């Protein structure tokens, strides 16, 4: 009955208007949210902000940059929350959930951490203090506690944290976060873990190991920065394998980039790719939600990083919905 009602609702709104509904459909599929990343400079664009607050599409926001270490603790012990606070305030206006991003990452890290030559116990206490302060300030959130700690071959990524403490910083970060807010959902987040493979196997082993040690890992974030035509065929099975560990799973940074210029054929394939990802999350009960890494090509990170590539988001740079938008709808309806 619920499914029939949802289909009627969708068909009705599709035929009568351009009403957006990515989040409505996600919730009808039993998920907690459909969401998007956003960034502080974007909040000056009024049309952008209007759509960002459209809860038919988005019930969750992730700050793309402002909660990262270089922005929150640029000097030791001196915390600056203004950027993150602005995004939380924006989310609160519309009762949207917030995903804190992130506590510990090798990138966009403050130089005092990388260049401090700290010993093991000092660095562990720095990690604990950073995670604890962030998670306490932003209570009641979902958190990417660890971001990108694995290499593609499944080995541990070298970073100031790994090189100094081995894997001890991982448990320290999670434990500090749990203590700071027992209700926060705590995730480990990474890319290239969408399909089965060495890195996904390493993630499974790591989460198993951490949880066996009593480290409070609640979820695995699967970033999903994908390339048109490149959704791994094993994505559904892989998400299921993560979920079988007893943790939540979330698609945390979805986008599907292409070689420019945009063509109708590429847009059609991109639509299929978005649909495939959504179907995979839908099929796995413990997959709780999907976040796109910004909803419009106007503010996508892709062209700045991959020369000649872009058009990765479900809306184009003029805020017009692309076929990908319909792909997401179809994915939820499957």
Q: Does 296 bind ligand G3I (CB under 6 A)?
A: no
Q: Does 270 bind ligand G3I (CB under 6 A)?
A: no
What values do phi and psi take at 256, rounded to 5? -135, 100
Cα distance between residue 25 and residue 2, in whole Å: 12
Which DSSP state fits 265? Answer: H
CA 175 and chain centroid, separation: 21
Catalytic annotation on 279?
no
Of 20, 25, 64, 110, which one interacts with ligand G3I (CB under 6 A)?
64
Q: Which residues pair with 287 in a beta bridge?
A: 249
Strands 219-222 and 33-38: unpaired
**Interface size with ligand G3I, residues (CB under 6 A):** 8
Of 90, 223, 238, 270, which one interacts with ligand G3I (CB under 6 A)?
223
Q: Does 301 bind ligand G3I (CB under 6 A)?
A: yes
Burial 294-310 (b: 16+ CB within 10 A, else e): bbbbbbbbbbeeeeebb
| Closer by beta carbon to ligand G3I, 194 or else 253 | 253
| Of residues 296, 273, 217, 212, the one with CA closest to residue 250 | 217
Q: Does 218 bind ligand G3I (CB under 6 A)?
A: no
DSSP per residue over 275-331, as a string? HHHHHHHHHSTTEEEEEES-SBGGG-SHHHHSTTEE--SSB-TTSPBPHHHHHHHHH
> Which residue among the candidates 253, 268, 317, 330 is catalytic per the annotation?
253
What is the per-residue binding string for ligand G3I in 248-267, x denoting contact by CB under 6 A?
-----x--------------
In angstroms, give the least distance from the CB of 102 to ligand G3I: 7
Q: Does 187 bind ligand G3I (CB under 6 A)?
A: no
| Closer by beta carbon to ligand G3I, 29 or else 160 | 160
Q: Does 80 bind ligand G3I (CB under 6 A)?
A: no
| Closer by beta carbon to ligand G3I, 147 or else 269 | 147
Give the dihedral sign, CA 304/43/50/5.
positive
Closest CB to ligand G3I: residue number? 301
Q: Which two tokens stand for residue 161?
A: 């944290």
| Closer by beta carbon to ligand G3I, 253 or else 273 | 253
Q: Does 297 bind ligand G3I (CB under 6 A)?
A: no
Mind telling me the catalytic residues?
253
Q: Which residues sit at the interface with ligand G3I, rule CB under 6 A?
A: 64-65, 107-108, 147, 223, 253, 301
């Amino acid at each position: 009955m619920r499914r029939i009602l949802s289909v009627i609702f969708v068909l009705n709104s599709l035929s009568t208007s351009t009403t957006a509904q990515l989040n409505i459909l996600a919730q009808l599929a039993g998920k907690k949210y459909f969401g998007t990343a956003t960034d502080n400079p974007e909040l000056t664009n009024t049309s952008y902000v209007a759509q960002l607050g459209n809860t038919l599409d988005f019930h969750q926001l992730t700050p793309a940059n402002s909660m990262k270490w270089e922005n929150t603790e640029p000097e030791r012990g001196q915390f600056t929350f203004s950027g993150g606070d602005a995004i939380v305030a924006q989310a609160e206006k519309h009762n949207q959930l917030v995903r804190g991003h992130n506590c510990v990452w090798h990138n966009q890290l403050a130089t005092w951490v990388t260049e401090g030559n700290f010993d093991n116990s000092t660095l562990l206490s720095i990690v604990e203090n950073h995670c604890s302060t962030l998670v306490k300030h932003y209570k009641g959130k979902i958190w990417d506690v660890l971001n990108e700690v694995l290499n593609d071959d499944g080995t541990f990524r070298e970073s100031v944290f790994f090189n100094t403490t081995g894997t001890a910083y991982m448990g320290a970060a999670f434990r500090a976060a749990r203590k700071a807010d027992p209700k926060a959902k705590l995730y480990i987040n990474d890319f290239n873990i969408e399909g089965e493979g060495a890195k996904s196997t390493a993630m499974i082993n790591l989460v198993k190991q951490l949880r066996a040690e009593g480290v409070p890992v609640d979820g695995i974030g699967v970033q999903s920065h994908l390339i048109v035509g490149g959704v791994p065929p094993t994505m559904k099975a892989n998400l299921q394998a993560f979920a079988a560990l007893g943790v939540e799973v979330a698609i945390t940074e979805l986008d599907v980039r292409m070689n420019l210029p945009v063509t109708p054929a590429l847009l059609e394939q991109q639509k299929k790719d978005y649909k495939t990802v959504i179907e995979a999350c839908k099929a796995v009960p413990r997959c709780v939600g999907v976040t796109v890494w910004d909803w419009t090509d106007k503010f996508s990170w892709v062209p700045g990083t991959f020369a000649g590539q872009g058009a990765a988001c479900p809306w184009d740079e003029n805020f017009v919905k692309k076929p990908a938008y319909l792909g997401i709808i179809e994915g939820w309806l499957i």
